[in-house]
């Protein structure tokens, strides 16, 4: 479908990632390539890995792939597990389910804790599974930190604590794709063995690079894993990374951008980045409540800092609503995914974003709601302004 | 090692890829992201795939991964083969040997036709292997079109013809990473089943996207292949690509660049692109001969259009020579790889390159040779000028 008319002004990217790319990051990538086997590159690569470790709060290995987040999922599995291994997955939504698909394709036995996607983890369900696992057959617990389809954030710290308390030897693997550099994530403090991250959300980059952290325990599992890997092979990466090199051609220009993005994060300060995300997320939810719409996440302490999933008003197709908002007001919103497709729409509020942009976008959504015939309870935009002003 | 002094002017990237990125391509990528699930993106993706098929001369499926060329090797293997399958590989150099490593990691039985890396394929050796293979155990022949480590180009057309003549059912897989959009490559005419390509060479993009073509025969093999795959899974890609979408987040900004790069190729005309590459390659070799240095490739009809590998003068460490040329004259040259490391250096002459740039670079190398104490036979730069002027 073509946009029928010329849309003046800025396009507002409010899918829950990829996110708006700061001009500084675009300009940093808008630069001639350098030799990825030369001294300038290797010095930069060492700096980037060191700085990214600070963002992720880890002293473990940190690996950068020229790939997207899905690849970093596959990498987490292929590097640590063997066919027939059992893994436990908490169903958080569309993205946990895709990760389950990856695991099944790799011939793992996947034990899924089902959920309605709408609240945080019921830790007692994880506890039960781990206690029942007398023979320690569960080799890994796969968790999503922030589920982008539902707008629900999971308490990785508490889940990790439970694994420690039970002294269960499983690896803890965490998808941080839509939480990284938006919500606090403490890789080492939370004893995360493998983190799965991407560039195109809180890190404010285009898609195209993805990350794993690798704990000593995960590296030990690597030694006995029999799943085939080459492109994802951790050892080859770690060995080459020591001197700032890569076993194959890295995504050089995206790395220029990553270095600049981390400078920006550092200037704002990570804690300020996180509190800004929480503030803008709260403002968004104030607006949604003002409009009289229902937030998909039904558990306040599990609200996402990155995105909000909202039930479409009764009788209104959310994809029609999104299309009106795109074509009239130049805002991209996220669609419902998998089982909630056609039921919800999603507002991304992460990355390079401030109050004024968000208020504009909320205003656009408010006008879109009106255009499709929904009568709002009250001005959500005004609610957001009131919240942000105080 | 830091560059000790300020180097004025342009940096000349003459490793055999990544190559110089045209300003037009950089500017095309220097653009705000768009929704990869929205209409603008899907229309662009359909256009890009159609146009890239013209560059590769195929009507088969063409798949674009957010990955580097190594990933597209892995993909070719994981999508068509099963553990224990036998593949035949002609040893062309460092990159065929890496591909062999991938195959072995995926538990294939690899039959290697060894070579000294210095000449084109001895087709009779391939013929012998295929004739001996009465039980048709060889499932694929893996060839490199242009071997970037040696500067040797292989005659894929003749090899393919031999497979046809012998009616051998093996797949023909061809790595075109450093030949794509530099040397003529006719995917369908040459009956290539799987092409492996990358963005950072003749396509003049930064690294970060990679390609496969998939013939109907390769797709048939996909159905029976048991190697695990998800990120590389062809069927999932082909299904999503139909409507211009991807099963996971594509490298959107690199695709902006790819569209612009193909416009540039189209403006010059593919045949002109190829003859320019041949002309600049010939000029480079005239220079090398003028200096009295030995070209690694010892077979004139197998000279590469993309890069020239040159023996370092006796007693001179090629990496010292490269370092002097980098630090004095701001030119990046390629190092020797694997068994010829420390014996050769490489000049990349592919991508966005014209006569004047090349002459400058040859002049820089000539000055570098003099700096490290090599007495040239005569001015290679002058030889190149003479060649290019006529």
Looking at A232, A266, A300, the residue that finishes a domain is A266
Looking at B266, B300, B316, the residue that finishes a domain is B266
**Residue A257: predicted pLDDT:** 98
Looking at the structure, do residues B256 and B341 belong to the same domain, yes or no?
no
Looking at the structure, do residues A182 and A69 belong to the same domain, yes or no?
yes
**Residue B2: predicted pLDDT:** 53
Q: What are phi and psi of A178, to 5 degrees?
A: -100, 10
Looking at the structure, do residues B334 and B363 belong to the same domain, yes or no?
yes
Looking at the structure, do residues A173 and A71 belong to the same domain, yes or no?
yes
* ipTM > 0.90, yes or no: yes
**Residue of B181, B148, B134 lying closest to B14 (CA atoms):** B148
**Residue B5: predicted pLDDT:** 79
The verdict on residue A54 lying in a domain is: yes
How far does the CA of residue B76 sit from the closest CA of chain A (Å)? 12
Looking at the structure, do residues B212 and B100 belong to the same domain, yes or no?
yes
**Residue B249: predicted pLDDT:** 97
- The CATH number given to whatever domain includes residue A312 is 3.90.1150.10
Looking at the structure, do residues A190 and A305 belong to the same domain, yes or no?
no
**Residue B4: predicted pLDDT:** 63
Cβ distance of A249 and B68 shorter than 8 Å: yes
Looking at the structure, do residues B308 and B290 belong to the same domain, yes or no?
yes
Is the pLDDT assigned to residue B178 strictly greater than 80?
Answer: yes
Residue spans of chain A under pLDDT 70: 1-4
SS3 B25: helix
Residue B228: half-sphere exposure toward Cβ, Cα within 13 Å? 22
SS3 A338: helix
A4 touches chain B (CB under 8 A): no
Is the pLDDT assigned to residue B195 strictly greater than 70?
Answer: yes
**Residue A32: predicted pLDDT:** 96
Q: Are B217 and B187 in contact (CB under 8 A)?
A: no
- Which residues on adjacent β-strands are paired with residue A258? none
Looking at B213, B243, B266, the residue that finishes a domain is B266
How big is chain A by its Cα radius of gyration, in Å? 21
Q: What is the pLDDT of residues B323-365, one digit of tens each?
A: 999 999 999 999 999 999 999 999 999 999 999 999 999 999 9
Percent of chain B with pLDDT over 70: 99
**Residue A390: predicted pLDDT:** 87
Selected for mutation to probe chain B from A79, A228, A327, A361 (highest B CB count within 10 Å) is A228
The verdict on residue B6 lying in a domain is: no
Average pLDDT rounded to a whole number, residues B137-157:
98
Q: Round to whole Å and give the CA distance between B148 and B351.
A: 14
- The CATH number given to whatever domain includes residue A74 is 3.40.640.10
B208's CB contacts (< 8 A; 6+ apart) are A66, A208, A209, A251, A253, A254, B66, B67, B68, B199, B200, B251, B254
Q: What is the pLDDT of residues B94-103, one digit of tens each?
A: 999 999 999 9
Looking at the structure, do residues A295 and A238 belong to the same domain, yes or no?
no
Looking at the structure, do residues B258 and B274 belong to the same domain, yes or no?
no
Q: Are B153 and B304 in contact (CB under 8 A)?
A: yes
The verdict on residue B1 lying in a domain is: no
Question: What angle is formed at CA B98 by the lines to CA B94 and CA B101, rounded to 5 degrees?
Answer: 140
Instruction: Please state, in angstroms and as integers, the Cα–Cα distance from residue A230 to each residue in A37, A377, B102, B339, following that order.
Output: 20, 56, 6, 21
Average pLDDT rounded to a whole number, residues B22-31:
98
Looking at the structure, do residues A253 and A279 belong to the same domain, yes or no?
no
Assigned token pair, B194: 């799987």
| Cα of B308 vs its chain's centroid, Å | 13
Instruction: Please state, in angstroms and as integers, the Cα–Cα distance from residue B172 to each residue in B80, B214, B302, B376, following that order.
Output: 11, 11, 20, 43
Which residue pairs, CB below 8 angstroms and at least 24 apart, start in B278-281? B278/B305, B279/B388, B280/B349, B280/B353, B280/B354, B280/B355, B280/B358, B281/B305, B281/B306, B281/B308, B281/B349
A20 touches chain B (CB under 8 A): yes
The verdict on residue A3 lying in a domain is: no
The verdict on residue A4 lying in a domain is: no
Question: What angle is formed at CA A10 by the lines to CA A32 and CA A33, rounded to 5 degrees?
Answer: 5
The Cα diameter of chain A in Å comes to 64
Q: What is the pLDDT of residues B361-382, one digit of tens each?
A: 999 999 999 999 999 999 999 9
Q: Are A290 and A378 in contact (CB under 8 A)?
A: yes
- What residues make up the domain containing B100? 23-266
Q: What is the pLDDT of residues B41-80, one digit of tens each?
A: 999 999 999 999 999 999 999 999 999 999 999 999 999 9
Looking at the structure, do residues B183 and B305 belong to the same domain, yes or no?
no
**Residue A214: predicted pLDDT:** 98
How far does the CA of residue A298 sit from the closest CA of chain B (Å)? 27
Residues 207-236 of B with CB under 8 A from A: 207-209, 227-231, 233
Q: What is the pLDDT of residues B219-272, one digit of tens each?
A: 999 999 999 999 999 999 999 999 999 999 999 999 999 999 999 999 999 999
**Residue A4: predicted pLDDT:** 63
B311 touches chain A (CB under 8 A): no
The verdict on residue A7 lying in a domain is: no
Residues of A in contact with B204 (CB under 8 A): none
Q: What is the pLDDT of residues B264-293, one digit of tens each?
A: 999 999 999 999 999 999 999 999 999 999
Mean pLDDT of chain B: 97
| Cα of B283 vs its chain's centroid, Å | 20
A18's CB contacts (< 8 A; 6+ apart) are A200, A201, A206, A207, B33, B36, B249, B252
How far does the CA of residue A98 sit from the closest CA of chain B (Å)? 10
Assigned token pair, B388: 């290019």
Q: What are phi and psi of B67, to 5 degrees?
A: -165, 180
Q: Are B53 and B107 in contact (CB under 8 A)?
A: no
The verdict on residue B170 lying in a domain is: yes
Assigned token pair, A97: 């389910």
- Which residues on adjacent β-strands are paired with residue B12? B331
Looking at the structure, do residues B313 and B168 belong to the same domain, yes or no?
no
Is the pLDDT assigned to residue B19 strictly greater than 60?
Answer: yes
Q: Round to whole Å and give the CA distance between B78 and B103.
A: 9
Q: Please report which helix (H) or strand (E) contains residue B328, including its range.
A: helix B318-329
Q: Round to whole Å and give the CA distance between A284 and A310.
A: 11
Q: Parallel, antiparallel, or unpaired for β B12-14 and B61-65?
A: unpaired
Instruction: Please state, in angstroms and as integers, the Cα–Cα distance from residue A67 to each residue in A64, A212, A257, following that order.
Output: 9, 11, 15
Cβ distance of B69 and A248 shorter than 8 Å: yes
Q: Please return the burial class of B165, using the count of CB atoms within 10 Å of its CB with bins 0-12, 13-18 and 19+.
A: exposed
The verdict on residue A84 lying in a domain is: yes
Q: Round to whole Å and give the CA distance between A166 and A301.
A: 25
Q: Round to whole Å and give the CA distance between B138 and B169.
A: 8
Q: Round to whole Å and give the CA distance between B27 and B21.
A: 10
Return the number of CB contacts < 8 Å for A and B.
190
Residues of B in contact with A13 (CB under 8 A): 32-35
Structural domain total, chain B: 2
């Amino acid at each position: 479908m073509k946009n029928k008319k010329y849309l003046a002004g800025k396009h507002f990217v409010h899918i829950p990632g990829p996110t708006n790319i700061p001009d500084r990051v675009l300009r940093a990538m808008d630069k001639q390539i350098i030799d990825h086997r030369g001294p300038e590159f290797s010095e930069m690569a060492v700096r980037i890995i060191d700085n990214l470790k600070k963002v992720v709060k880890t002293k473990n290995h940190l690996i950068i792939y020229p790939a997207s987040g899905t690849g970093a999922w596959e990498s987490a599995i292929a590097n640590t597990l063997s066919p027939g291994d059992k893994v436990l997955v908490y169903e958080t939504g569309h993205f946990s389910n895709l990760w389950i698909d990856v695991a099944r394709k790799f011939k793992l036995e996947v034990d899924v804790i089902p959920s309605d996607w709408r609240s945080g983890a019921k830790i007692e369900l994880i506890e039960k599974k781990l206690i029942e696992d007398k023979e320690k057959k569960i080799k890994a617990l796969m968790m999503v930190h922030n589920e982008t389809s539902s707008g629900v954030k999971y308490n990785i710290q508490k889940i990790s604590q439970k694994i420690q308390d039970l002294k269960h030897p499983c690896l803890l693997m965490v998808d941080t794709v839509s939480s990284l550099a938006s919500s606090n994530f403490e890789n080492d403090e939370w004893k995360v063995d493998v983190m799965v991250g991407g560039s195109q959300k809180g890190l404010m980059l285009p898609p195209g690079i993805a990350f794993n952290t690798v704990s000593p325990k995960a590296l030990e599992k690597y030694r006995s894993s029999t799943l085939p890997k080459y492109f994802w092979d951790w050892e080859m990466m770690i060995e080459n990374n020591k001197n700032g090199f890569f076993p194959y051609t890295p995504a050089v220009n995206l790395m220029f951008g990553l270095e600049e993005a981390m400078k920006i994060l550092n200037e704002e300060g990570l804690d300020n980045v996180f509190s800004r995300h929480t503030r803008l997320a709260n403002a968004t939810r104030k607006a949604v409540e003002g409009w009289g719409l229902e937030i998909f996440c039904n558990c306040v302490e599990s609200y996402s800092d990155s995105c909000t999933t909202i039930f479409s008003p009764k009788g209104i197709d959310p994809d029609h609503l999104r299309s009106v908002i795109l074509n009239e007001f130049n805002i991209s919103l996220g669609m419902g995914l998998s089982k909630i497709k056609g039921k919800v729409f999603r507002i991304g509020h992460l990355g390079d974003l401030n109050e004024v942009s968000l208020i504009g976008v909320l205003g656009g959504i408010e006008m879109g709601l009106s255009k499709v015939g929904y009568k709002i309870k009250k001005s959500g935009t005004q609610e957001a302004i009131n919240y942000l002003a105080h």
